[in-house]
A and B are shown apart, each in its own frame.
Chain A
Amino acid sequence: DTAVSQTPKYLVTQMGNDKSIKCEQNLGHDTMYWYKQDSKKFLKIMFSYNNKELIINETVPNRFSPKSPDKAHLNLHINSLELGDSAVYFCASSPRAHKSYNEQFFGPGTRLTVL
């Protein structure tokens, strides 16, 4: 199936650990994103990559580091996890170089719980 996929779907870990979330899209899109959805369902963009180049880097702690090995993948690595990092993280992609009218296609989300 063509889609945006994320692994893992659930991630439970201890404070202070380092973890990664992987995202892959097979839609041939140029641009990929990471969003954080907090406990109140509020969605906020974290990062955006276009053809492996960082385009958007919102005010996110530098413990969060995105990595794009190729334009079909955008992984999110989080160092020294904190309780406040608990959230659902969504990956998304869109067809062309960062056009405002582009629809974004979302992955199923990764629910991160930090204990």
Chain B
Amino acid sequence: AQSVTQPDIHITVSEGASLELRCNYSYGATPYLFWYVQSPGQGLQLLLKYFSGDTLVQGIKGFEAEFKRSQSSFNLRKPSVHWSDAAEYFCASSGSARQLTFGSGTQLTVLP
């Protein structure tokens, strides 16, 4: 069965600092990978997705993610964090089961 692990429950960064949120997946083949963001009291919004091809994927709001097969990882990055980026971030994968399996989420706090 596929699974997604987000090792960091909570990350705090200062505004303007760089950010990396970790995601590891477990799946026999190459999964389809997604990062979603959930702002307080809101639904989930897709930041970016990886299906195939270029392993560095650009998303909305200045986010990018890199797929590394050798490490079974799909980490999310942003070079300079803004206060409005404070939210819960979810990594998800979709394989042969054709349904999204979510990680447990990482809560991002941004300090002024």
Contacts and interface: CB of A to CB of B under 8 A. Distances in A.
Given A56-B99, A101-B51, A106 B104 contact: no
By DSSP majority rule, is chain B's interface helix, strand, loop, or mixed?
strand
B46 interface: yes
A43 B24 CA distance: 17
A100 B88 contact: no
Most buried by A among B43, B90, B95, B107: B43
Contacts of A107: 43
Interface string B94-112: 1110111010110100000
Interface of A: 4, 33, 40-45, 48, 56, 90, 92, 98-109
Interface of B: 31-32, 34, 36, 38, 41-46, 49, 51, 88, 90, 94-96, 98-100, 102, 104-105, 107
A100 B95 contact: yes
Contacts of A33: 99
Contact of A101 (B38, B42, B44, B94): B94
Contact of B96 (A100, A106, A108): A100
Contacts, number: 53
B34 to A, nearest CB: 7
Nearest to B104: A42
Given A41-B105, A48-B99, A100-B96, A109 B43 contact: yes
B97 to A, nearest CB: 8
A4 B43 contact: yes
